[in-house]
Chains A and B, each alone.
Chain A
């Protein structure tokens, strides 16, 4: 590994102008979405138990025909029809909630968004700051502590860390509630509502933050090691700049790019992390909803969740790409 530019951009035959690469990236995302839609369509119609087997035999006798929406998976026209419906926003009705799928998802989504963004922000901030500070004094106490912490938390899966924190802070020291998002029947949008929601948020947030920070920490720490040895740092030192300015404005900026790319990628992992952590804490987010709707064979709702999260991941990757292009002039110059 000689340099920091990802090998993608140094490859010899990737020398087409930025525009071409831009459209190609976009094309990739479109293809990805198409693939997801198709997978979505096929997989969900392959599931063995349908609504009728779950609801019971009574419905079977009353309506023995196929469940609504389960067209044959081989029919291309049916797939086209499905695409059209998705585009029009007609995602079907959840049989469990008796409400349109999109409505149900948007009811659960805010909880997950708050949890996800707050923990991602905390994790990346913590990881970057710790990484920069630890690299400043290599082998110091902070470096040892942070690296040790990162290795420990990398070795704990989300559900396990969640359960351990739950035992620690809800059972041994009953500081935080065991489960849920907010105490029932608290009037919405009032001050007690927010305070109570925050109390419920604390443990899932802590779990996700601790889970995600090692990745940012290790990336930043490793990158800083390299960039602090680069000539421009020597120049900055020679100019007599303060250590903090050198670390954050010069060295960290050079390191930030792979870290930010990783933030985009982790958005996808976030969905996975959310499922486990939300299930452990019975938090009323999309993760719990996904898990429960699979158990209830609520096919259309599951369909919708998968689609929403796939679109989400694609959008976040795209955002990371665009951000990278803005931040790093080398990406444009290399034509890559």
Chain B
């Protein structure tokens, strides 16, 4: 057991280091990037050189600079989406957990949301509203809240059944008091796990939509880079173009996954 918890916490520090490091790179992008990624600073498809460490893309823009700025976009969107959707989920989850009447209605709505293939809805809507970053954030948050809301609700339901809640009720505690004193503090692990999962999903889907070519192509993001790079797979420039992007997405999400795994540790039963 002790050995195991040691391993898990090591995973946590690795994850925190990865996520923090990439966050730092994203924040410092304007100072770290050698060029303005929108400027044409070389010939198209230049191989890596002293001037362009990762070469240039099909438009002659510096790939390394794109990578830094792309990370910035991914991080902004994923953090905003995770925060917004978890806030929504918190309100809905508490309402459902506290009031049986609201519960019936909200659970049916959540069921409905969960049975819609989100990506298809997303593709549809993204064709309707040409997607800029704020719209993307709102839309993703609207699609991401139901699952954590359901988890928050079940956590509240099991807290309700605890002896100490019953005791508090016996002393005349009101629902409002119970909510703030007992229900919300017990939610911390669920909220954290939900937040990390949302982060991961947001990075995936943001890059995925850009990869499919349905988001704003002028925004530098890892997804748009993949979108253009995958059209030139056969040219052999994937080594300096696709691999760095892949590493960026992979390491970012790996950081979140490691933190999440370490925190969930003993109860992997929840949302993996």
The interface of chain A, by Cβ under 8 A from chain B, is 1-2, 4, 6-8, 10-13, 27-29, 31-33, 35-36, 39, 43-44, 46-49, 138-139, 151-152, 154-160, 163-164, 166-167, 171, 214-215, 218-219, 221-223, 225-226, 258, 265, 268, 271-272, 275-276, 279-280, 290-291, 294, 297, 302, 305-306, 309-310, 313-314, 317
Contact = CB atoms under 8 A, between A and B. Distances in A.
Interface stretch (B63-71, B83-91, B177-185, B247-255): B247-255
Nearest to A315: B115
Nearest to B222: A160
Contacts of B155: 7
Contact of A32 (B108, B160, B242, B268): B108
Contacts of B17: none
Contacts of B269: 1, 4, 219, 222-223, 226, 258
B115 A306 contact: no
A46 B121 CA distance: 13
A28 B257 contact: no
Contacts of A154: 200, 253, 257, 272
B207 A157 contact: yes
Among the interface residues B111, B115, B233, B249, which one has the most CB atoms of the partner chain A within 10 A? B115
A131 to B, nearest CB: 10
Contacts of B3: 139
Given A10-B161, A268-B114, A317-B114, 9 more contacts: A31-B108, A46-B128, A48-B127, A159-B226, A160-B246, A163-B242, A272-B118, A309-B120, A314-B115
B167 interface: no
Contact of B268 (A49, A152, A219): A219
B233 A313 contact: no
B124 A47 contact: yes
A296 B75 CA distance: 32
B267 to A, nearest CB: 4
Contact of B111 (A1, A32, A219, A280): A32
Nearest to A214: B272
B212 interface: yes
Interface in B257-272: 257-258, 261, 266-270, 272
Contact of A310 (B116, B208, B253): B116
**Which A-B residue pairs are the 7 nearest by beta carbons?**
A222-B268, A7-B154, A32-B112, A7-B158, A271-B117, A155-B253, A272-B119
Contacts of B246: 156, 160, 163-164
Interface string B105-135: 0011101101111111101110110000000
Given A32-B115, A157-B208, A310-B116, A8 B154 contact: yes
Contacts of A11: 157-158, 160-161
Nearest to A262: B272
Contact of B117 (A160, A222, A313): A313
A280 B229 CA distance: 12
9 contacts: A12-B157, A35-B116, A39-B121, A43-B124, A48-B127, A48-B128, A272-B119, A306-B121, A309-B120
